[in-house]
Structure 1
Amino acid sequence: MPVSATAPTPSTVTSLRVRSGRTVELLLTLFALVVVGLAYVNVQLATVGEVPQLVWWHLGTYAGIVLALHLVLRWRARYADPLLLPLATLLNGLGLVMIHRIDVGTGSEVAARQLVWTGLAVLAAAATLVAVRDHRLLRRYTYLAMAAGFLLLLLPMLPVVGQEINGSRLWVRLGPLSLQPGELAKIMLTIFFAGYLVSTRDALSLVGRRFLGLQLPRARDLGPILVAWGLSVMILVLQRDLGSSLLFFGLFVAMLYVATERISWIVIGMSLFVGGAFLAWQVFGHVQARVTLWLDPFAPGQSDQVAKGLMGLGHGGIFGTGLGEGYPYITYFANSDYIVAAFGEELGMVGLFALLTLYALLAERGLRTAIGAREGFGKLLAAGLSFTLALQVFVVVGGITRVIPLTGLTTPFLSAGGSSLLANWIIVALLMRVSDHARRPVSERRQDPTKDLTHPRGEVRTR
């Protein structure tokens, strides 16, 4: 049969060219830097009526730091998701703006220190991209990551380096520096959960009995979730940190659901956490104080932090007072724990919803990366890191708006604090690495470094 002149022949068929997205990333990053610059100028004009040279120096330094990471992406991960860097840049930059605005109101100099931490955090992200050339290599260190995560969580309990601040023992002091090891522990535990669940998800999802429509696991398979529950209760009791306890246990339950697609794990996990939280509320005084403050923030004889935060949000209304026009510094820890309330006062409900939309986009890009990953470990790792960011934002905003009791967690990228900034930029770097592998053309993709030989039946034998 003759071949049509218009029909493609094998010699004329070409593969579609995959766009790296780096030009789009550069344009969006420049747009984010322009927004940050305008916010800086607006704060200065509203507070002191001029823009000093120091502000331009801050802007130039921040732009140089972010654009340097863009160059690293072009070098080491040129197929990474092009929206991750602009979103993180905008959130981090707006955090610097609000911290600077609070500095103007209080006479402090936290913004300069936060800019230094931003440089160190972006440097850590670049080092992660260079050192972790293939995210699948992290699966080799599953149990080492577990040990490192547990060690980081236990460091604040040590008598010499551990430090208690505001009733919670979460800090480690090393000379002039204070670090919160739990921020880095969440990355280590996410790597462990991903490596463990990708190996055991068949047993967790297929084996067991059904009861009242739920697939119940075997007793031996309950061990990991009981260990995670015990760890979260230990953090709640010993370190007096409700936020981290909820974060770690919620992360594990969410990753269990992603790995097994069984609602029974969510029911079991939430039942365990609610039971443990209720028991802690009955036994421990500091938990009772948090719950009392949640139920009645205006009651006399207790901290008025929640009340001042709510009044600040009410002062902002729908459209806010305007950057530099409010009084966010009246609330305690306005540049760290309560920076969301500061944004709510000066940008209003509209501005606060815009910030939450940025976080939703960041989590969505992470979950899209998980969907696009071609192997189980990458899917679980990207999903876990995305849930970490989303759950932390929910816990922080929920505490400030009285949806849940107040916790001591920081808002990712916005709050003052080096440990949080360092951990969140590393999370973004890992998401970039997974998305780079997922979007990379097949012809340029490396062979799985964690695999060895393939059996004739198609099964893969690991080393």
Structure 2
Amino acid sequence: MSENPNQGARPRPYRLAELGLLILAIAVSTIAYALVGLGTEDTIPANVYEYAAWLAALGLILHVIVWWKAKYADPVLVPIAVLLNGLGLAMIYRVDLGRPEYLDSGMTQLIWMTLGVALAVAVLVFLKDHRTLRRYTYIAGLTGLVLLLLPLVPGLGTEHYGARIWIKVPFFGSFQPGEASKILLTIFFAGYLVTYRDQLVLAGPKFLGIRWPRLRDLGPIVAAWIASVGVLVFERDLGTSLLFFGLFVAMLYTATAKKAWILLGLGFFAVGAVFASLYFTHVQQRLEGWLSALDPEVYNKEAGGSYQLVQGLFGMSNGGLFGTGLGEGRPNMVPFAESDFIYASLGEELGMAGLFVILLCYLFIFQRGIKTAQQLRDGFGTLLATGLSFTIALQVFVVVGGVTRLIPLTGLTTPFLAQGGSSLIANWMIIGLLLRISDNARRPVEEFHTGVLKITEDPDSSTTSARGAGKRNDTKRVEGAREHAVGDLTTERATSDDAPTTNLGAADLTATGSDEDPTTNLGTTGGER
């Protein structure tokens, strides 16, 4: 029997490519930091070498850990994250120099970056198999919900600029628990949807040429909608509300491949938007500042006006195609130029060309995450990688859309760029999780069986009846599992006119509690990727 020629091809680690891209990212970030000093004070910052050494140490330590613990991980994620974080540090330093009183916010942000990279390293060192997280589906969901509600606790939560999303932490100031909850809730969504997807894909009534889900299956999306509205009502956080509901709908569609869920999500969103615009003052102010931004009366309002938005638009217009140059613009005319409006600040000094490169970096992160989801051998990992990727993408869309007046302002921060420790730490943990998941997705099959890493649908199942069958049957089992999975899927499609096409991996097509060897759940081999 002839062997498939693709089976001999092994995926390459590409760690040297990652190192080259990382060095380039560190160099660009250091040059940006130096140009800020030259443009603002006509001299290179005295601490530029210390800054470059600190940034390089963080990047290289993470690179070494990836090489050691996840050598098949995606080689693009770390360099792009370091580049975005470095550009953010340079712009925060730039805004600091324009203040009457220097606050050294750039150094504070660098410390937060250090903590974020340390947690990403911890994820790679201690999390060997991403499917271990599936054991903690409901614990993650409950913990995420508690963190989301913590700011409502009297004496613990604090309110800033109308939103109650911070808690007071001794010695650290304030912290946004919602940033941690977005990771925990993504884990919960992935575990829940992969468990109940068979129920959620069942065909219901057909209307307007679309097969809609059954009424009894609307519970999850209704619960997600109610929770999102609750965040909007009680915490007055429009951005987090949009993020969580959009994330759940995206993951629900990934799990079921039913377009009806997207349409239902848009319908629930429209109902919530109309309801909020009629009954909540803070939402009405956001809408007025968006729709009537250039109205002098709205522009000059002290609270809920459009001054910030209009100044940001003027700043980006002043930057033109190639920008004024780092340190040559006037970003300090925009309130919160280092956090909420850092995208506009970068647009003024780097121009539309610079903003295009930044958006391209975010697109690369999203694309690599989705590619990892497509390569995975298990449904939980597919949904988790998809959810984490959409977490980044939705934040960027909401922030950039608000700053450019495409949608109302929401208060979310730009990942890796904006000042804020809570968001930066959470986003670095997302990068750590994507690195671990991509390593598992690209790792060759034989390394799963030889003790480097064993992927099983249930990480707890340490003893199976087929464990002692020997390595000589491994190839046959892999091929048999693939044929069995394809056969089951073909039968399902043949018996249902609305059978969805999902990318949840062959592992979830096998029977629960099977006594087969773990390698029979691998789906396609790593060498074919």
Q: TM-score under structure 2 normalisation?
A: 0.83
Distance 2:418 2:425 in 1: 12
Instruction: Tell me if 1:459 matches 2:516.
Output: no
1:316-375 deviation line (CA, Å, top 9, x unaligned): 111111111000111000000000000110011111111101101111011111111111
Letter in 2 for 1:459: A
Q: Does the aligned pair in 1 maintain the 2:30–2:51 contact within 8 Å?
A: no
Instruction: Tell me if 1:162 matches 2:157.
Output: yes
| Gap change, CA 1:9 and 1:220, over 3 Å in 2 | closer
Q: In structure 2, what is the equivalent of residue 4 of structure 1?
A: none
Q: Does the aligned pair in 1 maintain the 2:316–2:348 contact within 8 Å?
A: yes
Unaligned runs of 5+ in 1: 1-7
Q: In structure 2, what is the equivalent of residue 351 of structure 1?
A: 354
Aligned residue runs from structure 1 range 197-216, under 5 A: 197-216=193-212
Q: In structure 1, what is the equivalent of residue 21 of structure 2?
A: 28
Aligned residue runs from structure 1 range 139-288, under 5 A: 139-176=134-171, 177-288=173-284
Letter in 2 for 1:378: G
Distance 1:172 1:30 in 2: 37
Aligned residue runs from structure 1 range 417-432, under 5 A: 417-432=420-435
Instruction: Tell me if 1:113 matches 2:108.
Output: yes
- CA drift at 1:207: 3.4
Letter in 2 for 1:461: G
1:243-274 deviation line (CA, Å, top 9, x unaligned): 11111000000011111111100111110111
1:74-107 deviation line (CA, Å, top 9, x unaligned): 1111110000101101111110111111111112
- CA drift at 1:206: 2.6
| Gap change, CA 1:163 and 1:9, over 3 Å in 2 | closer
- CA drift at 1:129: 1.1
- CA drift at 1:17: 3.5
Letter in 1 for 2:309: V
- CA drift at 1:280: 1.0
| Gap change, CA 1:86 and 1:447, over 3 Å in 2 | same
- CA drift at 1:315: 0.9
Distance 2:115 2:39 in 1: 30
Q: In structure 1, what is the equivalent of residue 473 of structure 2?
A: none
Distance 1:235 1:13 in 2: 50
Q: In structure 1, what is the equivalent of residue 334 of structure 2?
A: 331
Q: Is the deviation greater in 212-221 or in 109-118?
A: 212-221
Letter in 2 for 1:25: E
Q: In structure 1, what is the equivalent of residue 54 of structure 2?
A: 61
Distance 1:418 1:103 in 2: 17
SS of 2:513's equivalent in the other structure is strand
Distance 1:260 1:427 in 2: 24
Distance 2:30 2:47 in 1: 13
Q: In structure 1, what is the equivalent of residue 496 of structure 2?
A: none
- CA drift at 1:462: 7.5
SS of 1:79's equivalent in the other structure is coil
Q: Does the aligned pair in 2 maintain the 1:335–1:416 contact within 8 Å?
A: yes
Between the aligned residues of both structures, percent identity stands at 51
Instruction: Tell me if 1:373 matches 2:368.
Output: no
Q: In structure 2, what is the equivalent of residue 363 of structure 1?
A: 366
Q: Does the aligned pair in 1 maintain the 2:398–2:410 contact within 8 Å?
A: yes
Q: Does the aligned pair in 1 maintain the 2:202–2:214 contact within 8 Å?
A: no
Q: Does the aligned pair in 1 maintain the 2:18–2:75 contact within 8 Å?
A: yes
Letter in 1 for 2:20: L
Letter in 2 for 1:448: T
Distance 2:7 2:216 in 1: 52
Distance 1:247 1:58 in 2: 34
- CA drift at 1:454: 8.4
Distance 1:20 1:38 in 2: 29
SS of 1:461's equivalent in the other structure is coil
Give the alignment partner of residue 44 of structure 1, picking from 15, 37, 44.
Answer: 37
SS of 2:226's equivalent in the other structure is helix
SS of 2:211's equivalent in the other structure is strand
- CA drift at 1:216: 1.6
Unaligned runs of 5+ in 2: 449-453, 467-480, 485-509, 516-529
Instruction: Tell me if 1:435 matches 2:438.
Output: yes
Q: Does the aligned pair in 2 maintain the 1:170–1:182 contact within 8 Å?
A: yes
SS of 2:335's equivalent in the other structure is coil
Q: Does the aligned pair in 2 maintain the 1:454–1:461 contact within 8 Å?
A: no
Q: In structure 2, what is the equivalent of residue 122 of structure 1?
A: 117
SS of 1:53's equivalent in the other structure is coil
Q: TM-score under structure 1 normalisation?
A: 0.95
Q: In structure 2, what is the equivalent of residue 447 of structure 1?
A: 455
- CA drift at 1:9: 9.3
SS of 2:174's equivalent in the other structure is strand
- CA drift at 1:161: 1.1
Q: In structure 1, what is the equivalent of residue 472 of structure 2?
A: none
Distance 2:263 2:45 in 1: 56
Give the alignment partner of residue 340 of structure 1, picking from 340, 343, 357.
Answer: 343
Letter in 2 for 1:397: V
SS of 1:460's equivalent in the other structure is coil
- CA drift at 1:13: 11
Q: Does the aligned pair in 1 maintain the 2:190–2:384 contact within 8 Å?
A: yes
Q: Does the aligned pair in 2 maintain the 1:242–1:407 contact within 8 Å?
A: yes
Letter in 2 for 1:270: L
- CA drift at 1:125: 0.5
